[in-house]
Amino acid sequence: MQSQILPSRAALVDRIAMQFEYGQNLICLVGNSGLGKSYLAESFITDKYPEFNKAFVKLGAHTKDTELVQQLLENSFRAPLVDHKLSLSENFFVLYNEQPCGPCLWVIDGARHLSDELIQELQLLAKKAPDTLYILVTGQTPKILPEALDIHLEPLSLTESRRLMAMFFQELPPQEDPIFSTFLNESGGNPSILLEWQQTQHQLTLKSERTISRRQIHGFLGAFIAIGILSLVAVVYQKDWADLLRMQQDVEKTAVTELPQPTVLTTQEVLSEAEQPKHQAQVEEKEGTQSMGQHDVKSILDALTLSDKSQDADQNVVPAQEKGGDVSPVPDLQSASDVPAVAQVLSEQVSPNDTVQPVVEDQAQKPEPAAEPVQVANDTQSQTMSDNDWFMAQDSNAWTIQLLAVTDHTVARRYIEQHKLSQIRTAQVVRGKKDWWFVTLAPFSTLDEAKQARANLPETVLAGQPFFKRIVQIKQQIQQSQTQK
């Protein structure tokens, strides 16, 4: 045999040979394109009738009748002289009479390219050949040769399809493989389609698809987890983000310059600011004392002129001494003759500035005694100054004006006592392991109210550059301080 052949195809070859032996000299093998008609015809002519003179001719669209006649006769007779003016049957009879050829087997592949004249000649030779002549023709449609026996070639079954592929491919996918099983079903038992199977490409494509599928699943799972986590975080911190956004919008709407950090004054700066008002007050008191002393001198002189009693004069002088400050006692006056003496004494006490200025300078230069309170007292005062509970109970959207931020509660207390402002609230927080005291004015329901209150503050307070602050920020700092403790 030319090559391996399936059992069903081998049985068909035997059936064709049996039909020839039964006396059917002209047979047409009918089947669709790709079912292996040519392969089966070649197997038949190779396997059967080895003693016959055999001729295999494959017809095409450009094959001429003379070429077909020439090939058939040359394979049947030895060096035949073919007369192209005669028909196929006439040439065959002439040559046979000259030299008998013996039994012959003609196989013609492609009956659709036969002319009507050749079809009639083949039918005539199948009936009247002087010796045994078997003619096998292949075609796609039945009844191409009216007098021929049509034998149909059926498609392969699934088992034979896999068996055929096993003859040409060393390794095949398992029967359960979805791609391979689909390929077998869709091929329809057509050998030409089955032999186009490309094993390497299908296997590589299958593995690649599985790898990509797993990666996609892992990627989708990771993306879903990440989105879920981000959603939870957004839900948890949604309120804080909304407050921060609203605060930024309020700040953008108002042309208010806020300090990036609280204004922190050292103890020396606070004390120096505290001494300035005291010095101004002492100077004003000095000027008032001088004017008051002059006014009292005039009053005393008028009183001494109108009254003769020394007791009335003493009562008018004593209040003047109390208002004047450091005024020396006035001698007893018995009569109006003492008026010039009293005037001289009072003018000496009031007019010169040397009597008051040293006292003021001594008071300013005299150092204050160092306060050494007990630690328990300091803690009590610091706790008393703290309004943390008050802040925690307020509305978070309210506003405050922060005036001062120091680490010494004594400075904060002096600052409060010095300015004596209303609505003073002090917050105690912890920053960098240190206690801080924030001196604020609160509460204000809106930012406009806080601005109006800031505009009414004294110049000494505005010198510290107070700024606006929400109560929610102070609450957060207090909560953080409690956590650190």
pLDDT of amino acid 431 = 85
- Binned at pLDDT 50, 70 and 90, residue 205 comes out as very low
| pLDDT higher than 70, residue 270 | no
Cα 410 to Cα 267: distance, rounded to the nearest angstrom: 9
More reliable by pLDDT, 384 or 286: 286
pLDDT of amino acid 276 = 60
pLDDT of amino acid 185 = 85
Q: What percent of the chain has pLDDT over 90?
A: 28
* Low-confidence winner among 102-116, 236-250, 466-480 (lowest mean pLDDT): 236-250
Buried/exposed code over 383-407 (b: 16+ C-beta within 10 A; e: otherwise): eebbbbeebeebeeebbbbbbbbbe
More reliable by pLDDT, 461 or 485: 461
pLDDT tens digits for range 403-442: 989 998 899 899 988 888 888 999 999 888 888 999 999 8
pLDDT of amino acid 288 = 52
| pLDDT higher than 60, residue 376 | no
pLDDT of amino acid 300 = 44
Q: What is the mean pLDDT of residues 220-249?
A: 83
Q: What is the mean pLDDT of residues 160-177?
A: 83
Top-confidence range, 199-213, 316-330, 359-373: 199-213
Q: CB-hemisphere CA count at 13 Å for 317?
A: 21
| pLDDT higher than 50, residue 21 | yes
Q: How many helices (H) and strands (E) does the chain have?
A: 20, 9
pLDDT of amino acid 248 = 78
Cα 73 to Cα 69: distance, rounded to the nearest angstrom: 6
**Residues 412, 475: contact at Cβ < 8 Å?**
no
Cα 356 to Cα 442: distance, rounded to the nearest angstrom: 42
- Binned at pLDDT 50, 70 and 90, residue 124 comes out as very high
| pLDDT higher than 90, residue 272 | no
Whole-prediction pTM value? Answer: 0.42
Look-up of token digits 């610091």: 382
Q: What is the mean pLDDT of residues 20-40?
A: 89
**Residues 465, 480: contact at Cβ < 8 Å?**
no
pLDDT of amino acid 273 = 56
pLDDT of amino acid 164 = 84
pLDDT of amino acid 169 = 81
∠32-38-43 over CA atoms, to 5°?
A: 130
Per DSSP, the residues of 427-448 read: EEEEETTEEEEEEEEEEESSHH
* Low-confidence winner among 63-72, 240-249, 361-370 (lowest mean pLDDT): 361-370
Closest CA to 13 of 194, 2, 144: 2
**Residues 136, 25: contact at Cβ < 8 Å?**
no
| pLDDT higher than 90, residue 240 | no
Give the residue extent of every domain in the chain.
Answer: 7-152, 158-197, 271-365, 373-484
- Binned at pLDDT 50, 70 and 90, residue 51 comes out as very high
- Binned at pLDDT 50, 70 and 90, residue 155 comes out as confident
Q: Which fold has domain 373-484?
A: Alpha-Beta Plaits (3.30.70)
Cα 304 to Cα 312: distance, rounded to the nearest angstrom: 8
Return the number of other C-beta atoms located less than 10 Å from residue 38's C-beta: 15
Cα 63 to Cα 71: distance, rounded to the nearest angstrom: 11
Return the number of other C-beta atoms located less than 10 Å from residue 376's C-beta: 8
Q: Which amino acid is at 212?
A: I
Q: Which fold has domain 7-152?
A: Rossmann fold (3.40.50)
Q: What is the mean pLDDT of residues 472-477?
A: 91
**Residues 173, 203: contact at Cβ < 8 Å?**
yes
Closest CA to 450 of 437, 431, 435, 469: 469
Q: What is the DSSP letter of 405?
A: E
pLDDT tens digits for range 73-103: 999 998 888 888 899 999 999 999 998 888 9
What the block records as the tokens of 50 is 């080895």
- Binned at pLDDT 50, 70 and 90, residue 173 comes out as confident
- Binned at pLDDT 50, 70 and 90, residue 15 comes out as very high
Q: Any alpha helices (H) in 307-338, and if so which ranges?
A: 310-324
Cα 240 to Cα 238: distance, rounded to the nearest angstrom: 6
Phi, psi angles (nearest 5°) of residue 155: -65, 160
pLDDT of amino acid 19 = 93
CA distances in angstroms from 429 to 31, 198, 367, 393, 421, listed in the order given: 99, 79, 32, 16, 22
What the block records as the tokens of 100 is 């008998």
Furthest-apart CA pair in the chain: how many Å? Answer: 200
pLDDT tens digits for range 310-358: 444 344 433 333 333 333 333 343 433 444 444 444 444 434 444 333 3
Give the three-class secondary structure for 216. Answer: helix
pLDDT of amino acid 180 = 84
| pLDDT higher than 60, residue 106 | yes
What the block records as the tokens of 139 is 């075609």
What the block records as the tokens of 347 is 């003018």
